[in-house]
Structure 1
Amino acid sequence: VRATQNAKSKMAEVMPDVPKKLDDWKAAADTLDQGGQIVSLYHQLAIFTRPSEATTAEENAKVIWRGRGFELNNDTYMHRQALMACLPMTLSEKLHNDMRRMRRVSRKTVANAIHLAPVIGEWRGTATPTLILAGRRGQLMTLDLYDNDQGNFNGAIIGTPGSGKSVWMNEIAWSYRATNAQVRLLDLGRSFEKLCSKANGQFIEFGPHSPINVNPFTVVDDIDRDMAMLTPVIAKMASLSAPLEEVQYKAINAGILRVWRAHGKDMTITALRDLFKTGTLEDLEIHNDVRIKDLAIMLEPYTRNGQYARFFDGRANIDFSNDFMVIENEELKRAPDLHAVVNMILLYQITQDMYLSRERGDHRKKLLMIDELMQQLGEIGADDPVKARVVEEAARRARKYGGSLITATQAADDYYSSKQMETAFQFADWVFLLRQKKESLELLDRSGRIVMDDAKKRLLTSLRTEPGVYSEIYIYSPMGEGIARLILDPHTLLLFSNRHEDNQAIDQRRARGLSIDQAIDEVLRERSGKPS
């Protein structure tokens, strides 16, 4: 009542605090009306530091609190009471009553008290400790993509060069392999070659004399079910950059089914080309159509006498029996059309293997990881609905067959550069964000993919990487979100490293016959100055 009277008096015109007190009392009354409570609160900051650093520590504390709208005052006369009150387990009811008599406590609503309580906790991750991380304040964090019971197990990794993206991908691959999961990696730049050797995995590369054949028809199990992947793949073979006419797309679909019935798993692109040469498809009542004949010409590079014959003529021969496989695509970058087509086929074949292994009773976790996704999909034809359809189907198949599709790129901008890239991003429930430029963070905010307020923007711009010590990762998922630090021992860090000087030092020692572990140990000894 007194606060209301004072606020309406002339005194309020010269005393700005009077209306504020009325606002406080109104807020308290509203809380009580809603069933809330008023509590007494004592808030104090105690700084423990060296005497020589006390002044600096005090000023730093005041600056931090002032930045949040609080003004700290020095407790000059009642040190003993203040010290006793802020030590753990010492603020008893009687001591609190003494402080009330000294008018050192204030009254607050329960909600205010909760917000002012100096209780700071970090996200602890998920229940399964497949990945072991740490929070900024030392909180142990465990993580497993398969703990997500509200969506899929797919992930997207975004990290600028030098932020630790490749190291984080290595850690994911190695941690899941340690739990007996199947791991498949599409690499670009040999980021996983050392880990593949360590894991006794299979390293495949498309060198000039490589005998690899990726004929997509060899692995078909159910032609009707697999058409969702096969038709877009053949369409991309025919035209990587320009869209096909609708009749051509339907012709590809009908042609695949017709040739498959005649040849089964022995079907090749050559047989499909020969059908299109006639320009006739009885099933579609098409006769001597030049558009169908054009398809035969466009598929020529992938046929028996074509430029890429060795990759497609005959039966596919990639053996998926090894539980850890790295497929290096660096050599394919010279032929962007072949590069994009091969990776689309690999998406089909790897997800097909996920399905077949599940049918055999193998219910282990299965990861398909793709580094530098934008380059892997090919840079010809930026916005491509056909590629988007392949990526979407691969993501759906991975989830359906108990797999996880994890893609990685250097900037958030990449995921919004084309329809196919955006599809990969939208089908990823897990987002791992390493150090990013401010522009990329702004794009994520505008897109609505990660909801940001000012506090979260400050948090994300603070992400950093301390070379040789840790990388910080912002994890965003339906299961929670928070910042984690990836901290590795020197041996593992060198195993995962993609730096030229590290790879060169290890390669030189492996050329002398040392194993990957022996080579790493020798490099670490020499760098530390310890004798061999």
Structure 2
Amino acid sequence: MEFISVREEYAEGIIPREVRASQLSPVIAYDEEKEYFFNNDGTIGVGFMCRPLPGADQGLQDRINNMLNQAFPNDTIISFLLFLSPEIEASLGSMEQLRENFHHPLLSEIVKNRVSFLNHHTREPMISRGRKGYFNNGVIHDQKLVITLKIPIKDRLPGKKELEELFTAAEKLESSLNNIGFAPRKLDADLLKRTMTTLLNWGERSSWRLGEETWDETSPINEQIFDYDTDVEVKKTHLRMGDTYAKILSAKRLPKTMFFGDAIGYVGDLSGQGQSIKENYAICCNVYYPNAQKQKKNLDRKRTLTVNQAFGPLLKIVPVLGEKKESFDTLEKSMSAGNRPLRMNYSVMIFAPTLKRVEAAATAFQDIWAESKFTMMQDKFIQMPMLINSLPFGADHKAVVELNRYKTLTSEHATVLLPLFGEWKGTGTPHVGLVSRNGQFMSLSLHDSETNKNGVIAAESGSGKSFFANEFLTAYMSEGAHVWVIDAGRSYEKLCDTLEGSYVQFGESSTICLNPFDIVVDYEEDEDALVSQVMAMASPKGNLEEFQIAETRRLMANIWRHKGNAMLVDDIAEACLAHPDQRVKDVGSQLYVFTKDGSYGKYFHGRNNMQFTNQFTVLELDELQGRKHLRQIVLLQLIYQIQQAVYHGDRNVKKIVFIDEAWDLLKEGDTSVFMEHAYRKFRKYQGSVLIATQSINDLYENPVGRSIAENSAFMFLLGQTSETVESVRRSGRLTLSEGGFSLLKTVHTVAGVYSEIFIRSKTGVGVGRLIVGPFQKLLYSTDPNDVGQIDRYRAMGLSVTDAIYAVMRDRGELASKVDEEAIELADSHTRLLRSNRPRDSAPQTGPRLVPLTLPEEPEATAEASAAKPVSTPTTATAEEEVTP
């Protein structure tokens, strides 16, 4: 029988006592066959682990209201727990598992270091020093929504009828959760145990961190949720569980009005411009279902009394009667519309490793929630009961009355208040690991798409594009992917050198030959691409007539039939010059510069000798800056050449082509047919194309840009100006909601701290921050001081990895702890930066709906109905009668 040490504070001092762990949770057993939990408080229940909703709309509001308004048995309690959990082990495990079959001395170390960085910052806040001071990005978490349902039973064991009632209620709830989009996963004993141990054990060596998840069937579940080294100390205003402090707050007063969807603000400020809680916390709403008819009669009786008092002389003595009458009117109106009366509490659990930090977080919580008209109060003297009632299956029927924390409202009002929303978690596969503005771990992968695996990066200068590209490419290479970068600015020379890749340049002394016909495998399949390339040779601006193109196509096909892979540009030029029509002769003349006698001929005459044997190849066009036409043709041929490499390569190895500064060359002439062909080939053979440009407007200025945008399942937007965003919004080129455009305008970069990326994908939309540790900062840095220090250690014989760690050691960046003074300094700088930044209206996740008016203290709620405001009680508790 498991006991834990509980120390409670009394007037005469702290008196320790041994308490059975079972007193802190009622869950005793789990029936694996029938999938329900048996509790020692006279209840049975079921639960679901759900995915928080990343957005809202009116249809969603109706579905949630319908879910709450169902005919659940009397005295049912449904609990909604939104937990910003430190448990991201599954995601980090997937991150490592993706790379388990590939090893590289540096790339594997990058992944190991990245996983360590992310895991460390589930415990310690991410404190970074930028040009303007320190910045606190808070801790990394995973938002988990746990929904449990429990019903009372009369005897010690549940009867057949009671089980049928539970299963019927559970089926209704699960069906509704699926229809709404929560993707519910039914709680079993293992999942419940892991959830509970994560909530209650916060040490670095906690059992859940060590992978101990299995439920022991031989002992009660509630005796397995505390680790042996976790003791509990109960104080007047807080709890201590092991080395972690917890504080519980409750809503004394709820806002008078709220929009449906505003509850997404529970996880933090989506705009990135306001304050947010930097610690782990959980929001719990327990919804109690009283007998609807009795409750309605009781409310009618109290309303009648209150109305009579509100219109008499008593109103002058007790002015709160007026507000109380309004609250009863709000409830009456909502119930008349068919909404079920409920009772609900709203509480928050905050966790931090020190008392100072938990106190600071609680104060911040009260201040931030006050902006939304919540009055959050500390639960003095009842911290332990409030903790117990906030845990899964912990809500007690007796607590509805005894704790005095429940408010009366209807399903319509509860719909708006419930903690059902969260930030977008990313695409699903953690090839790249980002962090949301409020600390949610975000996964990102081009391969989480059922259409194509392509993407576009649009980034203004200085917004962190190169840093993001470095992270993206190394993340894929660490799994074994082959990557080709086509650049015209030497941005990837250092990374290529560090990874010992192939760095190919096209200077005057270059002996590279890119004869496209030498590597053709299927001429018919590649004909469009080859003809487009020859047409671009003849006319870089695409000023050829349809007749010229058609005749050249015919001549090329004829030459191929006779010469096959021995075909040259010279053969095409000669055939065109021999054509009787002057227009075709002109094409032959215009091809001269690419023949063996022309100034560009050496790059295309002879056997193709470009070989892609390295995992990472950078094709640098910077030395062709003065020869724009040649640079364009080289770019097209390189894309075609990579196509062939993808075709011949291992289908199980991912391939990525990244075109950075060279993108401008694709805008010249009519290359859209060529690019469409390229994208088809890459998609067919599981390749990915990433195109980078400065402005998103660039994509829509010509046919090739539009073709690229249409064939890209992903869009990564960094730091776009408001003018650019407005331009694409007005033109209708970019499909986003108004809230999406508002969100896009807030995307920014803080140098040395993070780069923000607005991600639009088929699976969702959101903003992720690329926050890296000192190892990756040094790896990707082009700062001469950083490069010099690394090179100094490499000259001593150290590997790149060891050299970076040596520099980190010299700078004192290998420390694992963050002191409170640094946190305070970072928070003060963060507040200063935000106070100086112009703040747009907070972006909405869905349509901005008309606010729902809530009942005040009696039962305050908040919501938004699409067409009309709805009221709810807000001041005096509807359960209390005001008497003279």
| TM score, norm. by length of structure 2 | 0.50
Please report how far the alpha carbon of residue 237 of structure 1 lies from its aligned counterpart in structure 2 after TM superposition.
0.8
Distance 1:209 1:52, change over 3 A: same
Query: How far apart are the structure 2 equivalents of 1:38 and 1:118?
Result: 19
CA contact (8 A) 2:793 2:803 kept: yes
Distance 1:527 1:265, change over 3 A: farther
Structure 2 residue matching 1:339: 3-state secondary structure: helix
Please say if 1:463 is aligned against 2:463.
Answer: no
Distance 1:38 1:411, change over 3 A: farther
Query: How far apart are the structure 2 equivalents of 1:377 and 1:506?
Result: 37
Query: How far apart are the structure 1 equivalents of 2:628 and 2:794?
Result: 32
* Equivalent residue runs for 1:377-392 within 5 Å: 377=666, 381=668, 384=669, 386-392=670-676
Aligned match for 2:462, one of 162, 177, 182: 162
Once the two structures are overlaid, the 10-residue window that deviates more, 410-419 or 53-62, is: 53-62
Query: How far apart are the structure 2 equivalents of 1:387 and 1:458?
Result: 34
Please say if 1:225 is aligned against 2:525.
Answer: yes
More strand per residue: 1 or 2?
2
Query: What do residues 71-116 of structure 1 show as CA deviations (whole Å, max 9, x unaligned)?
Result: 344769x85569954784375322222356x8x613131x542431
Once the two structures are overlaid, the 10-residue window that deviates more, 252-261 or 478-487, is: 478-487
Name the structure 2 match of 1:68.
Answer: none
Name the structure 2 match of 1:478.
Answer: 762
Query: What do residues 30-85 of structure 1 show as CA deviations (whole Å, max 9, x unaligned)?
Result: 454xxxx44222336789978997998488426631xxxxx344769x85569954
Structure 1 unmatched runs, 5+: 66-70, 281-287
The aligned amino acid for 2:493 is E
Structure 1 residue matching 2:608: 3-state secondary structure: coil
Distance 1:289 1:362, change over 3 A: same
The aligned amino acid for 1:141 is M
Distance 1:137 1:217, change over 3 A: same
Query: How far apart are the structure 2 equivalents of 1:105 and 1:20?
Result: 11
Name the structure 2 match of 1:283.
Answer: none
Once the two structures are overlaid, the 10-residue window that deviates more, 252-261 or 223-232, is: 252-261
CA contact (8 A) 1:84 1:91 kept: no
Once the two structures are overlaid, the 10-residue window that deviates more, 300-309 or 457-466, is: 457-466
Please report how far the alpha carbon of residue 262 of structure 1 lies from its aligned counterpart in structure 2 after TM superposition.
2.7
Query: How far apart are the structure 2 equivalents of 1:429 and 1:254?
Result: 35
Structure 1 residue matching 2:720: 3-state secondary structure: coil
Name the structure 2 match of 1:213.
Answer: 513
Aligned match for 1:105, one of 407, 411, 416: 407
Structure 2 residue matching 1:93: 3-state secondary structure: coil
The aligned amino acid for 2:654 is K
| TM score, norm. by length of structure 1 | 0.81
* Equivalent residue runs for 1:319-334 within 5 Å: 319-334=611-626
Query: How far apart are the structure 1 equivalents of 2:416 and 2:366?
Result: 24
Aligned match for 2:400, one of 69, 93, 96: 96
Aligned match for 1:125, one of 420, 423, 426: 426
Query: How far apart are the structure 2 equivalents of 1:55 and 1:275?
Result: 81
* Equivalent residue runs for 1:71-82 within 5 Å: 71-73=373-375, 80=381
Please say if 1:235 is aligned against 2:535.
Answer: yes
CA contact (8 A) 1:194 1:516 kept: no
Please report how far the alpha carbon of residue 483 of structure 1 lies from its aligned counterpart in structure 2 after TM superposition.
2.5
CA contact (8 A) 1:49 1:57 kept: no
CA contact (8 A) 2:595 2:604 kept: yes
Distance 1:52 1:428, change over 3 A: closer
Please report how far the alpha carbon of residue 234 of structure 1 lies from its aligned counterpart in structure 2 after TM superposition.
0.7
The aligned amino acid for 2:673 is R
Distance 1:73 1:134, change over 3 A: closer
Please say if 1:300 is aligned against 2:602.
Answer: no
Distance 1:50 1:125, change over 3 A: closer
Query: What do residues 462-520 of structure 1 show as CA deviations (whole Å, max 9, x unaligned)?
Result: 33333333322222211223222222232322222355665577678879997655665
Name the structure 1 match of 2:368.
Answer: 61
Query: What do residues 222-271 of structure 1 show as CA deviations (whole Å, max 9, x unaligned)?
Result: 11111110111111111112420111101221121122223221211112
Please report how far the alpha carbon of residue 364 of structure 1 lies from its aligned counterpart in structure 2 after TM superposition.
1.7
Query: What do residues 406-445 of structure 1 show as CA deviations (whole Å, max 9, x unaligned)?
Result: 1111221222222211221221101122222222333443
Query: How far apart are the structure 2 equivalents of 1:507 and 1:92?
Result: 64
Structure 2 unmatched runs, 5+: 1-295, 312-321, 815-884
Query: How far apart are the structure 2 equivalents of 1:265 and 1:389?
Result: 23
Name the structure 1 match of 2:603.
Answer: 311
CA contact (8 A) 2:487 2:662 kept: no
CA contact (8 A) 2:700 2:733 kept: no
CA contact (8 A) 2:460 2:695 kept: yes
Please report how far the alpha carbon of residue 461 of structure 1 lies from its aligned counterpart in structure 2 after TM superposition.
3.1
For the aligned residue pairs, the C-alpha RMSD in angstroms reads: 3.7
Name the structure 2 match of 1:134.
Answer: 435
Distance 1:183 1:96, change over 3 A: same
Structure 2 residue matching 1:43: 3-state secondary structure: strand
CA contact (8 A) 2:651 2:685 kept: no
CA contact (8 A) 1:132 1:143 kept: yes
Query: How far apart are the structure 2 equivalents of 1:55 and 1:225?
Result: 65
- Identity across matched positions, percent: 32
Once the two structures are overlaid, the 10-residue window that deviates more, 519-528 or 465-474, is: 519-528
Query: How far apart are the structure 2 equivalents of 1:290 and 1:20?
Result: 88
Query: How far apart are the structure 1 equivalents of 2:568 and 2:652?
Result: 32
Structure 1 residue matching 2:671: 3-state secondary structure: helix
Aligned match for 2:417, one of 116, 128, 141: 116
Aligned match for 1:40, one of 317, 325, 343: 343
CA contact (8 A) 1:182 1:324 kept: yes
Distance 1:22 1:245, change over 3 A: farther
Query: How far apart are the structure 2 equivalents of 1:115 and 1:246?
Result: 61
Query: What do residues 350-406 of structure 1 show as CA deviations (whole Å, max 9, x unaligned)?
Result: 11221222xxx543211111113542425xx4xx4x211212221111111111111
Once the two structures are overlaid, the 10-residue window that deviates more, 232-241 or 56-65, is: 56-65
Once the two structures are overlaid, the 10-residue window that deviates more, 139-148 or 405-414, is: 139-148
Query: How far apart are the structure 2 equivalents of 1:339 and 1:512?
Result: 40
